[in-house]
Homo-oligomer: A and B are copies of this chain.
Amino acid sequence: MKLSTRGRYGLRAMIDIARASRENEPVSIASIAASQGLSEGYLEQIMTGLKKAGLVRSSKGAKGGYTLGKSPGEITVGEIIRTLEGDMAPVDCVSQAKKGICDRADLCVTRIIWEEVRDAINQVLDKYSLLDLLENEQKLLKER
Hey, which chain B residues are within 8 Å of A136, CB to CB?
Answer: 109, 112
Alpha-carbon separation in the docked complex, A11 to B15 (Å): 38
- The answer to whether the Cβ of A140 comes within 8 Å of any Cβ in the partner chain is yes
Alpha-carbon separation in the docked complex, A9 to B107 (Å): 16
Which residue of chain B has its CB nearest to the CB of A116? Answer: B124
| Protomer copies | 2
- The answer to whether the Cβ of A30 comes within 8 Å of any Cβ in the partner chain is no
- The answer to whether the Cβ of A35 comes within 8 Å of any Cβ in the partner chain is no
A12 near B88: Cβ-Cβ < 8 Å: no
Given contacts A124-B113, A124-B116, A128-B113, contact A107 B2 (CB under 8 A): no
Q: Could you name 26 residue pairs across A and B whose Cβ atoms are closer than 8 Å?
A: A1-B4, A1-B86, A1-B90, A2-B91, A8-B91, A8-B110, A11-B110, A77-B110, A106-B140, A106-B144, A107-B137, A107-B141, A109-B133, A109-B134, A109-B137, A109-B140, A112-B136, A113-B125, A113-B128, A116-B124, A117-B121, A117-B124, A120-B121, A120-B123, A120-B124, A121-B121
Binding site for B on A (CB under 8 A): 1-4, 8, 11-12, 15, 77, 85-86, 88-92, 106-107, 109-110, 112-114, 116-117, 120-121, 123-125, 128, 133-134, 136-137, 140-141, 144
